[in-house]
Homo-oligomer: A and B are copies of this chain.
Amino acid sequence: MIRLGIFGGGQLAQMLTQAAISLGVETVIFERSADSPAGRLTQAEIVGAWEDPTLLDLFASRCDLATLENEFVDATILAGLEARGLPIYPGALTLAMVQDKFFQKERIAAAGLRVPAFRRVSTPDDLLSVADDLGWPLLLKTRRNGYDGYGNVTLHGPSDVLPAWKRLTCGDSSLLAEAFVPFSRELAVMVVRGRTGEARAYPVVETVQRHHICHLVRAPAAIPANVAAEATALALAAVEAVGGVGIFGVELFALDNGQILFNEMAPRPHNSGHYTIEACVASQFENHLRAVIGWPLASTDLRTPAAVMVNLLGQRAGPVGPDALRAALDVPDTHLHLYGKRESRVGRKMGHVTALGATLAEAESLALRAADLVDI
């Protein structure tokens, strides 16, 4: 059996493990704390800091190859493991380009792909002069370690600059400033790319955010075919531009005029691709495994006319009760997924639900009904 190491033990590693089981792949989970959702699913759980050389030795000795479920592991750690012969996908070079949002945008722009105007800013004064150039509102982002809106602030004028600067910097890092894009929709495309460069895109989906967290995903997006084709081409090109191997989530802006802009990418399974578990021939998780192992990629086609995924966010603080799902399990044609987090918090991603239907409206109605009935 192939032993696949994963940096991270959260829900993405959990769903990757579920897919790995069927393919005869054992996962080794390296997470900072014990009893993580995926760590609990293996007796090969390694607990501690990813920087710890002893633990890295142990990890390397237990794996035939490795991957990651988030982009927070430092690329230099991957480079060190690669240097001693452990294959890691996506690789250190790709991760270095992607995990810093400024480098990521530079790379995508250099590949000739359309991105919003962006600047590196090192001081609040820098930012004010960027605002003279790009105008207000302006997005200010940490370059690394942001997720679900953590690490992002929208600035509406000069008086927003100092509070946002203090909130986002730890004093020593530069930030990323981006022109605000008046998008009509947010789109996303999951792209899987193999070791030898063969790539497949999943259908273009529409994502709806609420309070900076993905609330809902509609698959396929209700957009004209030429817009979908442009979004797909941009996503494939973006993953190729960073030499990505494995599954990548590419987030895009669609403008009123049909133009598509690159927003950002994640070098891993992505929330906007969870619908693929039930809705597509092969899930994003199965295709990630195939890609990183070097096996043939599987079809990314939809198996249903429409699918809608809704995230299940924590409604209160406290332990997850045994009957959190009971009422929701009565809604037909819906597929519930909990992430094995023992404690809920308001707004925490606790799971998701995917509903399938003959139309997006039908699937969305079922998914929202089930999500409303979850008690978590």
Q: Is the CB of A64 within 8 A of B322?
A: yes
What residues of B have a CB within 8 angstroms of the CB of A24 in the complex?
Answer: 320, 324-325, 338, 340, 351
A contact residues, total (Cβ < 8 Å): 41
What residues of B have a CB within 8 angstroms of the CB of A22 in the complex?
Answer: 18, 335-338
A54 at the interface (CB under 8 A from B): no
Q: Is the CB of A329 within 8 A of B290?
A: yes
Identical chains in the assembly: 2
A2 at the interface (CB under 8 A from B): yes
What residues of B have a CB within 8 angstroms of the CB of A333 in the complex?
Answer: 281, 299
Instruction: Flag the segment in A36-44, A70-78, A173-181, A182-190 that touches B.
Output: A36-44
Q: Is the CB of B322 within 8 A of A1?
A: yes
Question: Which residue of the partner chain B has the closest CB to A330?
Answer: B296
Interface centre among A21, A26, A64, A296 (most CB of B within 10 A): A21
**Docked complex Cα distance between A40 and B139 (Å):** 46
What residues of B have a CB within 8 angstroms of the CB of A32 in the complex?
Answer: none
Q: Is the CB of B43 within 8 A of A295?
A: no
What residues of B have a CB within 8 angstroms of the CB of A340 in the complex?
Answer: 1, 21, 24, 26
Sample 17 A-B pairs with CB under 8 A, ordered by A number.
A1-B342, A2-B322, A14-B21, A18-B18, A21-B41, A21-B340, A23-B325, A24-B338, A24-B351, A40-B42, A40-B43, A41-B42, A43-B43, A281-B332, A298-B329, A299-B332, A303-B303
